[in-house]
Amino acid sequence: MRILDCGLVEYREALALQERLAAEIAAGNEEETLLLLEHPAVYTIGRGGDLANILDSTLPVERINRGGDVAWHGPGQLVGYPLVHLGRRGRDLHRWMRFLEEVLIATLVAFHIPAHRVAGQTGVWSSRGKIGFIGVGVRHWVTLHGFALNVCPDLRSYERINPCGLAGCAVSSMMMETQTPPSMAEVKHTAPVLFLQQVTKHLPRTPPPPSLVPR
């Protein structure tokens, strides 16, 4: 699996890249890929999301084909788009979301920030609020979208939405949770290492069926 650090990328540009790579992975022409990036400030809303959860915004809003409700993306937030062929890793989307949560929890713990799940919710919480966000899609059993981790963003943009459709949801960042916050570069280095360790351990690839050779 390859890791691509894409830097700061407009949302629509990143979505087009995801869709192109996912199609190539599904066709067997490209290897699985983890895209790491940041976006200029934007709100996205998933398939079942309610626009009423955007309370007041001058930011662009992108309606997209993922699960979940309203999310904010912007500078200081690490976004990861793992393009993984679940058809070769168990075909379990629920397990995939729990896996992404574990990767975020492990990343936070690596920087001495305790983190946990909340029963009945998707994502990751720290002591001060929600800090990691999950929203996924799948096409031909190749995953799209993924996770977002608040490293050092301006959290004021969350005041204009109900994050993930949760009214009054407190939101946090790694900067808020520790007196020695890591840099974005440090998190970008650590998160993919943990991702690769976890995916190899918990979602191993199954070998493709043997080719039928005429006798």
Cite the active site residues. 164
C-alpha closest to that of 21 among 99, 89, 84: 84
Domain coordinates in residue numbering, the chain: 2-202
Candidates 3.40.1190.20, 3.40.50.970, 3.30.930.10, 3.40.470.10; CATH matching 2-202 = 3.30.930.10
CA separation for the pair 69, 50 (Å, rounded)? 7
**pTM summary value:** 0.92
CB 9 within 8 A of CB 75: no
Which pLDDT score, from 0 to 100, does residue 215 have?
Answer: 46
Q: Is 38 helix (H, G, I), strand (E, B) or coil?
A: strand
CB 105 within 8 A of CB 194: no
Which pLDDT score, from 0 to 100, does residue 163 have?
Answer: 80
Locus of tokens 């699960």 = 67
10-residue block means of pLDDT along the chain (215 residues)? 98 98 97 98 89 84 88 96 96 96 98 96 96 96 98 91 81 95 97 96 79 46
Residue 38 burial class via C-beta count within 10 angstroms: exposed 0-12, middle 13-18, buried 19 and up: buried
148 in a known ligand binding site: yes
CB 103 within 8 A of CB 78: no
Which pLDDT score, from 0 to 100, does residue 213 have?
Answer: 42
